[in-house]
Amino acid sequence: GDSVTQMEGPVTLSEEAFLTINCTYTATGYPSLFWYVQYPGEGLQLLLKATKADDKGSNKGFEATYRKETTSFHLEKGSVQVSDSAVYFCALSGGDYKLSFGAGTTVTVRA
Amino acid sequence: ETGVTQSPTHLIKTRGQQVTLRCSSQSGHNTVSWYQQALGQGPQFIFQYYREEENGRGNFPPRFSGLQFPNYSSELNVNALELDDSALYLCASSLALNEKLFFGSGTQLSVL
């Protein structure tokens, strides 16, 4: 079945550092790929998505490129802020009704 | 603020009891999905309702059941609670099938 494997955390960074969170997937067909973010005390929010190979999703300075050849969708941000501290989830949808999530990566950014 | 509200925010039950969790979808959304998020894990899909009918189900036993009402609000019912049912339960609504999901903040269920 469909599954997502993402980099284990926690990840601790200083402000303005570069962030990468690795995500790889296993799926039949051509899934859509997502990154969700969960801030403390809040629900999941869609951060960005890509629906086909070589698409780049971007939002709030975050980017991720759908790489079919390596079945990856790594999340990157060039200069993190304290407000980026959250749990980040990689997810996929195989075109049916459900999302399959990774285990999440906790990111803490220190001033 | 997504407009999806869940109640209660926290709940404590004992093993063997039954629980009902509620979700009010964002206005105009006819599709609702429920997810279980155990501590330190990603959300796991429980089931989805579309226009009051179950549209898909994940790998959860029948003691997990749901309802969607004509106003598109929804309930998740869990019978014969087990310790492993302790988790954050998330509701998500969407404008239609395969559209963007809007998540509520969840109900934290503790089973003792």
Q: Which residues of A touch B103 (CB under 8 A)?
A: 43-45
CB nearest to A98's CB, from B56, B100, B103: B56
Q: Tokens 């949808």 correspond to what residue? A: A93
pLDDT tens-digit series, residues B39-52: 989 999 999 999 89
Alpha carbon distance B84, B79 (integer Å): 13
Quick one: which H or E segment has residue B37?
strand B31-37
d(CA B98, CA A8): 29
Coil vs helix vs strand at B84: helix
Between these two residues, B22 and A43, which has the higher pLDDT value?
Answer: B22
Query: In this model, does residue B1 exceed pLDDT 60?
Result: no
**Better-scored residue on pLDDT, A97 or A56:** A56
- Greater confidence (A41 vs B30) lies with B30
- The pLDDT score that the predictor gives to residue B79 is 97
Q: How far is CA A23 from CA A33, A100, A104, B1, B73, in A?
A: 10, 13, 10, 27, 34
Average pLDDT over residues A19-34: 93
Q: How many CA atoms lie within 13 A of B77 on its CB side?
A: 8
3-state secondary structure B39-65: CCCCCEEEEEEECCEEEEECCCCCCEE
What is the tens place of the pLDDT at every residue in B58-101?
A: 999 999 999 999 888 999 999 999 999 999 999 999 887 777 88
What's the pLDDT at A11?
96
State mean pLDDT over A49-74. 96
- H helix count then E strand count, chain A: 0, 12
* Nearest CB to A103 within list B33, B41, B48: B41
Q: Residue A1: its pLDDT value, please?
A: 81
Give me the residue from B44, B97, B103 closest to A44, CB to CB: B103
Per-residue confidence (pLDDT) for residue B14, from 0 to 100? 97
User: pLDDT band at residue A98, thresholds of 50, 70 and 90?
Assistant: confident
pLDDT tens-digit profile of B5-19? Answer: 999 999 999 999 999
CB contact under 8 A, B90 and A102: no
The beta-strand segments (E) located in B51-106 are: 53-57, 64-68, 74-78, 87-94, 102-103
**Where in A3-55 does DSSP place strands (E)?**
3-6, 11-14, 19-21, 23-26, 32-38, 44-50
Q: What is the pLDDT of residue A90?
A: 97
d(CA A99, CA B83): 25
Q: How far apart are CA A8 and CA A54, in angstroms?
A: 25
Rounded CA-CA distance B30/A63 in Å is: 31
CA distance A107 to A87: 6
Residue B80's closest CA among B70, B100, B65?
Answer: B65
Judge whether residue A36 has pLDDT over 60: yes
Residue A95 scores a pLDDT above 80: no
